[in-house]
Amino acid sequence: MIYQVYLRSFVDGDGDGVGDIDGLRGRCLICVTWRVDAICDQSLVSVADGRRWLRLADYRDIDPLVSDRADAERCCRGA
């Protein structure tokens, strides 16, 4: 099963009002309970402009509003 989330509104882990990877890591146990095989989220990637759904700046980069590459790697290892 693939569980799709919009991370920016899913769970706020650091209290700044924007969902982030720390919030997602806090919900990983729920995903395991639901037997989720993968988590999909488009809001992680960095965009070229403010129109988040139109142009990717770099599909390998993390949007600084939600986290950074180190947090994403920790989340993947923990999952």
Residue ranges covered by each domain of the chain:
2-78
Cα dihedral across residues 38, 39, 42, 46: positive or negative: negative
- The per-residue pLDDT for range 20-37, each reduced to its tens digit, is 888 888 887 777 788 888
Residue ranges of the chain whose pLDDT lies below 70: 42-60, 79
The amino acid sitting at 41 is D
Phi, psi (rounded to 5 degrees) for 27: -105, 5
Give me the pLDDT at residue 64, please.
Answer: 77
